[in-house]
Structure formats: C-alpha cells, structure tokens
Amino acid sequence: MSTGTQVLDGVFAVNKPKGMTSAHVCDEIKHKLTASALFAPAVQSLRDRKDEYRRQGQKLTRKMRMSGSVKIGHGGTLDPMASGVISFGVGEGTKALNFLQKGAEKGYEAVVLFGAATDSFDAEGKVVGRKGWDGVTREAVEAKLEEFRGKVFQRPSVYSALSRGGVRMYEYAREGKEIPELEKREMFVTKLELVDWMEGGTHEWKWPDQEIENDRKEAFVKTLRFDEIGGVDVVKGSDQKGVAEEHPSQGKLKRKRGANGSSKDQDEVKKTKIDKSDEHTNTKTPTPVAELITGDAALQDSGPRPDAQVANAEEIGAIASLSKTTTVDDVNDGGPTGDSQSAAPETTALDAGPTQLPCPAPAARIRMVVSSGFYVRSLCHDLGVAAGSLAIMTSLKRTKQACFELDDNVLDYEDFDQDEAVWGQKVARELNAWPARFEALQARKEV
C-alpha cells in the first residue's frame, strides 16, 4: 500500500493507556487511518478496484470485501491494567507482526508489593494468603534478583491460556477445580534491576480487599504451594459463591458493552484521557483472562476471569493498621460487599478510594528486559517467595518491544485525539523508518 513516494506499509508503535484493551486501541487507530488524508489515495484505490469488479459482474473475494479500510493489526496483546508499548502493522507490515510477537525481546517496568498472594498474582485478584515481611529489605531483594537473571525456568500463571486435557488453565481456576501441574518453561532475562524501593506506609500501592471464595480456596492453596513456602496465613475466605455460572441463554459471562460496542470503561478512558504516569492500576473493566498474560500465550482465545468486587475499605484499613507480625486471625471478619453473581461489576478492589490507610508492607519498582513469552506476574510472585514473604504485581508498563522503546520512537495514543496534522506526520515518519528497522532486527536474530 503506497501512494507516490509515500510508504504506507510498515510497523509503528503506540503507548497504550491503562484501562483499554489492545483490540480497542487497534480499532480506534484503524478508524483514524482510514478516514485520514494520508491514507485517502490508497483507500480510494481499493474502493475503485471493488467498484470495477462489480461493474464487470465479477464476484468479490472475501479479501476484497474487507478492503474498504486500512489493513491493520497489533503485535501482541497488552492487558488492560498495563500501559506501554504496543506495535501496529499496516498493510504489508502486518506480515512482520508474528516476528515481533515471538522473536524479539520485550522490556517491562513493574511494581511488586510484598506481604500477600492472590489467585491472579496481581492486585486485581483476590487474596489467598498473607505472610510477614520482616526480612524483606532493599538489600535482600536486590540480592535475590540475581537468581532471576540469565536463563531461568518459570512456571506460568494459573490464569494462562495454556490447556491441560483439552481444558484451558483459567477454566480450572475459574471453576475451583483441582488445578493441574504446570511445567516450568525456559526463559531468558537479559536485564533485571531494582529502580525504586518504597518502605511500608510511604507509597500508594495496596493489597486487594477481597478474599478468595471458599469454594475456590483449597485449589489455590495447593497450586500456590503454601505448604512448601511455609509460614503462610491462609485467609478465612468469603462465603460468597466464587465458581462462575453460565446464564442459560448467554453462555459464559460477558462484559457490558457501551453503545459503540466498546466496554464502558473504554468509553470512560477516552473521556478522561487516562493519567499516563502508570502510577495507578484503577481499571474498572474486568480484565479478559488472555490479556492477563504478557507473553505469546496471550494471543490465544480468552475466557472470563473471576469477577472483581466492590472494595471493602473497612477491612483493608484494619489490615493496614497491623504490625508486620500480626496474623490474619487478628483482623476483623467484616465480609466483602457486592454481589458475586454480577456479570459486569462497575468497580473493583482497586477503586476503594482515598479513605484507605497506607499499606504497611514495602514495595519495589523493577525493570527488566526479557525473552518473548515471559510472565511478569509470575516473576513478582516468585520474587516475593524468594525474599521470604509473598508478593503481587500492582502496576505494569511495557517499555520495549523489539526496536520500539518508550521515550524514543513510540507515539502517544492521545496524539490520535488531535487533528491529523499532529499525528499524520509522525505515523508517516515511522512507516518510512520501518524497512531499515526490520532489516536490522532480522540481521540481529541471525547472529
């Protein structure tokens, strides 16, 4: 796809805001490109060709029927709670996306919060167990990071799209069934460093308020290997029903959609221009399971994850006021609020608001460059265990995908809310730069 000397095939990257799915961002950009003056000649050429076929009485192929807009795809799913680099292939550039998904390094920045483990390994899940953090210091964590550099073997999250016996792992987790053993996979960590240490009570990060439901608790206690870890206070658990049920007419639970087909939270993101600092993870849309995965497994079909619940700030406040050595049994048993049967809850445990007291456990911001298919949530969990406690991921930002890096050659998503004069030249520049970048990537892989 080209017009004159202007190259309109290639790959460019965008900084995705938190709270939006990769597919939604792709749809928005596709609409902008198709309606732009930059791509107008190419789009018109496609339409003229279709009209000519019709005049000649020829049957349009499926490809031609779909060719009324710019051909675009994204190079790997980035989950809604995360922000950062996501690549988009245009025209012939879509053929290079598989290379970016599976054949290139990726960089991430994540915040690890110690003291608790959840069913999803992140702050959008439900707490399964807690453990003290007396020995968790900056020096201790930095020393433990060495164990995770170079060639490592990593066990995927139970909320992966991997299958066992023809059943997705997230289906076992969702239904509270005994979860099959997942084999560790070889990964490579090129770079891993601690860039910020936050003592307890000095940061904004918080444990989820909701505890796992009793009908799912036993399966996760076993899967998380609490017996091997030792010293874990397993939560009392919620009496609400956690196993998801199917509506007789709709099948599996689905999210509510807005008038334009996007999720309600995605509509809200566009209105509020989400804070780009990546310092919060307040996404109100229940995260699709496959988008919880930062590696290649995210490209597989997804299913629903356990519903997020309305936060119970009273219990979190009670937990936050405890000393490091206080056990869960000393916490007030106030149960979670909200309806566990709701198909599309409007708030999550991350939206409890400023009334919560600061979390007493420390947190660390880490940066990494890793091989494709790496599970950042699993690293956060494993680091917590290695440091003598437990841990969850509370923030995630992708900083690099192959040749695209933040603060270098990645466009801001907000640019596309401006006139084409703002983003058009940037897109054209990146597409023109792609051939040389792709050649360099291929040469590097062959070495």
Rg (CA), the chain: 23
Residue 66 covered by a domain: yes
Structure confidence at residue 8 (pLDDT): 82
Domain match, 229 and 206 both: yes
Q: What is the model's pLDDT at position 242?
A: 66
Total domains in the chain come to: 2
> Does one domain contain both 129 and 154?
yes
Q: Is the dihedral of CA 287, 291, 304, 175 positive or negative?
A: negative
Backbone angles phi, psi at 275, to 5 degrees: -55, 125
98 and 181 part of one domain: no
Same structural domain, 62 and 162: no
Angle formed at CA 115 by CA 111 and CA 120, multiple of 5 degrees:
65
Q: Is 50 exceeded by the pLDDT of residue 280?
A: no
User: With the C-alpha atoms ordered 159, 162, 163, 168, is the resulting torsion angle positive or negative?
Assistant: positive
- Give the tens place of pLDDT for each residue, 189-224: 999 999 999 999 999 999 999 999 999 999 899 989
Bridge partner residues of 3 (DSSP): 6
pLDDT of residue 125: 93
Task: Give residue 250's pLDDT.
Answer: 38
What is the rounded CA–CA span in Å between residue 378 and residue 121? 7
The candidate with the shortest Cα–Cα distance to 87, out of 36, 33, 29, is 29
217 lies in a domain? Answer: yes
Condensed to tens digits (0 to 9), the pLDDT of residues 300-309 reads 333 333 333 2
For residues 136 and 12, give the distance between their C-alpha atoms in angstroms, rounded to a whole number: 41
Q: Is residue 314 part of a domain?
A: no
Residue 390: the pLDDT is: 98
What residues act catalytically?
79
Cα separation, 326 vs 331, in Å, equals 9
Q: Are residues 188 and 68 in the same domain?
A: no
What pTM was computed for the model?
0.73
CB 355 within 8 A of CB 311: no
> Domain for residue 351, yes or no?
no
Q: Are residues 203 and 175 in the same domain?
A: yes
Residue 324 within a domain = no
> Is 233 part of any domain?
yes
- The pLDDT value recorded for residue 138 is 98
Give me the chain's average pLDDT, please. 75
User: Residue 291 falls within a domain, yes or no?
Assistant: no
Say which residues have a Cβ less than 8 Å from residue 94's Cβ, sequence separation at least 6: 71, 72, 73
Q: Are residues 111 and 181 in the same domain?
A: yes
Domain co-membership, 435 together with 387: no
Q: Count other Cβ atoms within 10 Å, centred on residue 137.
A: 14
Cβ neighbors of 201 (< 8 A, separation 6 or more) are 358, 359, 360
Say how many Å lie between the first and final Cα of the chain, rounded. 31
User: What CATH number does the domain containing 212 carry?
Assistant: 3.30.2350.10
74/98 Cα distance (integer angstroms): 10
**Residues 124, 218 share a domain:** yes
- One-letter amino acid of 175: E
Task: Assess whether 68 and 136 both reside in one domain.
Answer: no
For 44, counting Cβ atoms within 10 Å of its Cβ (0-12 exposed, 13-18 middle, 19+ buried), the class is exposed
Q: Which residues pair with 229 in a beta bridge?
A: none
What is the helix (H) or strand (E) element at residue 53, kind and residue range? helix 40-55
Show the domain range for 390. 105-237+358-401
Q: Which two tokens stand for residue 18?
A: 């938190």
Q: How many CB atoms lie within 10 A of CB 116?
A: 28
- Cα–Cα distance measured from residue 398 to residue 407, given in angstroms and rounded to the nearest whole number: 12
Q: Quick check: 400 and 372 in contact, CB under 8 A?
A: no
pLDDT in tens, 41-93: 877 777 777 767 677 777 767 666 666 788 899 988 888 989 999 999 998 89
Are residues 378 and 420 both part of a single domain? no
| Whether residue 45 is found in the same domain as residue 127 | no
- Contact between 384 and 391 under an 8 Å Cβ cutoff? The reply is yes
Mean pLDDT of 365-386: 96
Q: Given the structure tokens 């998904």, which residue do they identify?
A: 101
**Which residues touch 398 (CB under 8 Å, ≥6 apart)?**
78, 82, 83, 84, 85, 86, 106, 107, 108, 294
Is residue 54 domain-resident? Answer: yes
